[in-house]
A and B are shown apart, each in its own frame.
Chain A
Amino acid sequence: MKKVIVIGNGMVGYKFCEKLIAKAPAGSILLTVFGEEIRPAYDRVHLSEYFSGKTAEELSLAPRSWYHEKGIRLFTGELVTEIRPDKKTIITHRGQSFAYDALVIATGSRPFVPPIDGVNKSGVFVYRTIEDLEAITAYGQKIAGGKRPKAAVMGGGLLGLEAAKALVDMELETHVIEFAPRLMPRQLDEAGADLLRETIEKMGIQVHTSKQTTLIGGNGRIQELQFADGSSLDLEMLVISAGIRPRDELAKNSGLTTGPRGGILIDGTCRTSHRDIFAIGEVALYQEQIYGLVAPGYDMAEVTAEQILGGDKNMVDQIDMSTKLKLMGVEVASFGEHFAPSPARSIVFEDKYAGIYKRINISEDGSKLLGGILVGDAGDYNMLLQIAQNGMTLPPNPEDLILGSRGGDSQAFGSVLDLPDSAQICACESVTKGDICSAIVDQNCESVKSITKCTKATSGCGGCKPMVADLLDATLKSMGKTVKQTICEHFPYSRQELFDLILVKEIKDYDTALDEIGHGHGCETCKPALASVFASVYNETATVQEAIQDTNDRFLANIQRNGSYSVVPRIPGGEITPDKLIVIGQVAKKYDLYSKITGGQRIDLFGAKLHELPEIWAELIAAGFESGHAYGKALRTVKSCVGSTWCRFGMDESVSFAIDLENRYKGIRAPHKIKGGVSGCIRECAEARCKDFGVIATENGWNLYVCGNGGAKPVHAQLLAESINREDCIRYIDRFLIYYIKTAAPLTRTAAWLEKLEGGIDYLRQIVVEDRLGIAGELEEQMNGLIDTYSCEWKEVVDNPELKRRFAHFVNSDNEDDNMAFVGMRDQKMPRPW
């Protein structure tokens, strides 16, 4: 058994374990890992999401149990202090020694802290580990008082700007101090950096460039920064993000060759100056450079795993430093030779108004794309990167690449299928177009999810997801496969298509729909599905086309196990007067109904016979009740806590808001039931995050969550918008609900719908909050149309003798159903058991 030791359990060290275990024959390797941090490897790329609520567990790349299952010995919180290459052993800080056949150094890097006077003052932090973030958060809370404290980030690079975002989220007045004359000097040219600066300054971040800090002043704790130009800045906290330095001290002390400015020297096989010792990730110096990106580190992990197992894989000559990221909502990308190489031509497009800057560099003869920079809109990054990497031929007017094709039908990019099979689609996991296509063709993958499962593509940074989706579509199409969701044999359409067809063709009833766009005589699947569409398009109640309603909607009550029905009057927000409570009690007593409080803060009355329903409702309506639509795929309840009216912790009036929301959306039919919740503070007593839409009051306004549910597969709702006022909150829920109603498959709750929605919550936010499709107005209008035409369907029935007749058990007799039987239980009745 070959003994392999990994020093370092960061992202690259973990990736190496994953790759080695996957490639090695079972039982051939004994893998031992030492990590200095207390927790197993986590996702440092998305570290800033820790501030937006992701937990350490969620950031974790794999739980401890994963290492255990794979037979990996994992030591965390354990430091390796010495390597003895001659004896092929390592020594830990506990003095234990371990022997190896192959050693992999993946110790990563440390934040570079410039030697400035005062860096040891309290209130000065670096930004690399979860512990750093915890310390920053704790200090931020400590200094947060009545006024808005000032904080700064030293370093306007990629990580520095991430840190700045975190400070903004902590509601600190945020400054960014950059030594170079522009932001992100490694990735952006001057024009691109200027545009980025303008955009983030609009978000309230103050940017200071060409500033050399000479002193961190203050008495014990940081109070000011002094700069070389004589100026200064008062502040209470500083986060230093001035670059990284490789953690090479262990290697250096053990006699391995390191570079003059640090880093363990490696060759194309990732070997160091000792044959059995490898170095990977940010500690490795390859081609005289340290690579602070995860993709080259993963490549090194792959090469090392292959080499240890006897393969001959080598690093590619040209390390790709292309990056795409989103900084405070601004997309920034650079790829290939992004600074003007010579000889070359550049094409630049700038729209200061929209905050977009694009630059591409083209070979002198105009035939090849060399690289480029995108700020503000990096939607074409994947395709541009592929064109550059694969040396693909450019369109006749290369400017089409950034301006889009103007006139004619030709596409500037051509199709994803034109890419060579060797084109690397997922850089994090080194997955090529060929790998993905073979997963689709040979392994029958028909969704991005299953491709991810087969190939791991998209599982890293996720940036290649749109391209994988395009590739999937195009490949399936080329195979003549159409993955079409039809609702049943009678309609060759998805629910969304039916929705559009009924709207456009102005089809008013089910029979016409069958004749015009369907065939045959329908079934129990398409009838209720179309009933739901008719309800959404025309807001017609279930009484209009009663024959296509599922039994609950047809009889406006919930059928129970013995064929009796239950009755649920609406109690908006769960608020009810004693007088109304008494009426419910009297009705329940008169008709001998089993009574129970529901989970949605209302009262369910069970055991009503079909013919009794109109009489029961006549009494309830006379007392001011309305239908609760408990029987419909419709809004059920908006649950609330008592809120600031009574609760000493409440931040706002949750009951009033819940009542308004419930009354606003009552009666609206949807693909499935909809539930809402409103909590008056973050204690969340209304369990709003278990609802399709949930609103929680905070100090700064309402936070809106969507797409949660309880049930068989509980899902927490996700944050759609935060710190918004009541009007915006209502507007967003309007848009969200209509978008869901229009696009979801039949009987799909919002959580399942969102899970299938390509782009997930971010995409939903673009539609609902940012109005990227420009349909927000239309969605609101449709919602208003539904609200304006609401009527209580039970009121319709009790006022109409003809409708009332539908509730007779027999059409030829006034007798009751003599088969229905009840037995007693705890002073009430229940159906006779089956």
Chain B
Amino acid sequence: MEAILEQYKQVTEAQVKVWFKAAAVEAFPKNAGACIKYRDKQIAVFNFARKNKWYACQNLCPHKMEMVLARGLTGAEGDIPKVACPLHKRTFSLETGENLNADLPPIATYPVKIQDGFVYVGFAE
């Protein structure tokens, strides 16, 4: 089970080797999330339309190891953008991946860029 978790490692913009062209901007709901597939990975992508910002993280919730984070409600705690897991409302920072309301390990986050109407997610491999 932990093997799945091993697939997901935090990637900063400087570490990006591949900008994966995921889908057109319109394919993503506004102020909510959707899931994309990159090789064997499931990545949750969030469009914070109010702030004109995009975030990405692993779709896997480290609490019960289910592929559900893309279906969670988004929001902010103070200035920190966050997602709440739909199963048990564990919340995670979309900037650092840190678990904000319990002691779970952090989730991996990924850089996102928008170019020519398409959403790109950055990976290190």
Contact = CB atoms under 8 A, between A and B. Distances in A.
Q: Is the A/B pair a real complex?
A: yes
A829 interface: no
B24 to A, nearest CB: 9
A820 B66 CA distance: 8
Interface stretch (A103-111, A130-138, A395-403, A803-811): A803-811
A834 interface: yes
Contact of B66 (A490, A563, A806): A563
Interface in A536-587: 546-548, 550-551, 554-555, 559, 561-563
Contact of B86 (A520, A550, A562): A550
A820 B64 CA distance: 12
A295 to B, nearest CB: 51
Interface centre among B35, B37, B75, B87 (most CB of A within 10 A): B75
A521 B49 CA distance: 10
A811 B77 contact: no
B71 A554 contact: yes
A268 interface: no
Interface string A815-834: 10101100000000000001
Contact of A523 (B4, B73, B86): B73
Contact of A563 (B4, B27, B50, B67): B67
A527 B75 contact: yes
Given A511-B50, A561-B87, A521 B76 contact: yes
Contact of A547 (B29, B51, B91): B29
B73 A524 contact: yes
Contact of A546 (B22, B28, B32): B32
Interface string A521-539: 1111011100000000000
Nearest to B66: A563
A520 B50 CA distance: 10
A96 interface: no
Contact of B89 (A524, A555, A563, A819): A524
Given A522-B75, A547-B30, A559-B68, A810 B36 contact: yes
Interface in B1-29: 4, 22-23, 27-29
Nearest to B53: A521
Nearest to B21: A812
B76 A813 contact: no
A812 B48 contact: no
A811 B22 contact: yes
B29 A806 contact: yes
Contacts of B84: 523-524
A547 B30 CA distance: 7
A769 B72 CA distance: 42
Contacts of A813: 36-37
A604 B46 CA distance: 32
Contacts of B73: 523-524, 527-528, 548, 550-551
Contact of A820 (B45, B67, B72, B81): B67
Contact of A815 (B28, B37, B82): B37
Interface string B79-94: 0011010110101000
Contacts of A809: 35
Contact of A811 (B28, B76, B82): B28
Nearest to A610: B71
A563 B22 CA distance: 23
Contacts of B86: 550-551, 559
Contact of A812 (B22, B65, B71): B22
B42 interface: yes
Main secondary structure of the interface of B (DSSP, over half): strand
Nearest to A528: B73
Contacts of A524: 72-73, 75, 84, 89, 91
A523 B82 CA distance: 8
Contacts of A527: 73, 75
Interface string B92-124: 000000000000000000000000000000000
Nearest to A525: B75
A554 to B, nearest CB: 7
B4 A561 contact: no
Contact of B87 (A526, A547, A559): A559
A521 B50 contact: yes
Nearest to A813: B37
Nearest to B27: A811
Contacts of B4: 819
B42 A547 contact: no
Given A522-B76, A523-B76, A811 B67 contact: no
A348 B37 CA distance: 83
A521 B76 CA distance: 6
Contacts of A815: 37
Contacts of B91: 524
Nearest to A554: B71
B57 to A, nearest CB: 15
Contacts of B60: 819
B37 A551 contact: no
Contacts of B64: 561, 834
Contact of B72 (A520, A551, A812, A817): A551
A556 to B, nearest CB: 12
B56 interface: no
A819 B42 contact: yes
A811 B71 contact: no
Contacts of A547: 29-32, 74
Contacts of B50: 511, 514, 521
A546 B91 CA distance: 20
Interface in A448-507: 489-490
Interface centre among A551, A812, A817, A819 (most CB of B within 10 A): A812
Given A521-B48, A817-B67, A819-B4, A811 B31 contact: no
Contacts of A522: 75-76
B72 to A, nearest CB: 7
A546 B32 CA distance: 9
B28 to A, nearest CB: 6
Contact of B29 (A511, A546, A810, A812): A546
A546 B74 CA distance: 12
A555 B76 CA distance: 22
B72 A811 contact: no
Nearest to B64: A834
A789 B29 CA distance: 26
B114 to A, nearest CB: 15
Given A511-B50, A523-B82, A562 B66 contact: yes
A819 B66 contact: yes
A521 B47 CA distance: 12
A834 B66 CA distance: 9
A810 B35 contact: yes
Contacts of A820: 67
Contacts of B89: 524
A110 B73 CA distance: 68
B75 A555 contact: no
Nearest to B77: A523
B42 A817 contact: yes
Nearest to A527: B73
A135 to B, nearest CB: 58
Interface centre among B32, B34, B66 (most CB of A within 10 A): B66
A562 B86 CA distance: 11
B71 A810 contact: no
Contacts of A551: 68, 71-73, 86
Given A524-B75, A819-B4, 6 more contacts: A490-B75, A490-B76, A523-B77, A547-B74, A548-B73, A551-B72
Give the 9 A-B residue pairs with the shortest CB-CB distance, closest first: A523-B75, A551-B86, A547-B32, A524-B84, A524-B73, A521-B76, A813-B37, A563-B66, A811-B27
27 contacts: A490-B76, A511-B50, A520-B76, A521-B48, A521-B51, A522-B76, A523-B76, A523-B84, A524-B72, A524-B73, A524-B75, A547-B32, A547-B74, A548-B31, A548-B73, A551-B68, A559-B71, A559-B86, A559-B87, A561-B64, A561-B66, A561-B87, A811-B23, A812-B22, A812-B23, A812-B36, A815-B37
Interface of B: 4, 22-23, 27-32, 34-37, 42, 45, 48, 50-51, 60, 64-68, 71-78, 81-82, 84, 86-87, 89, 91
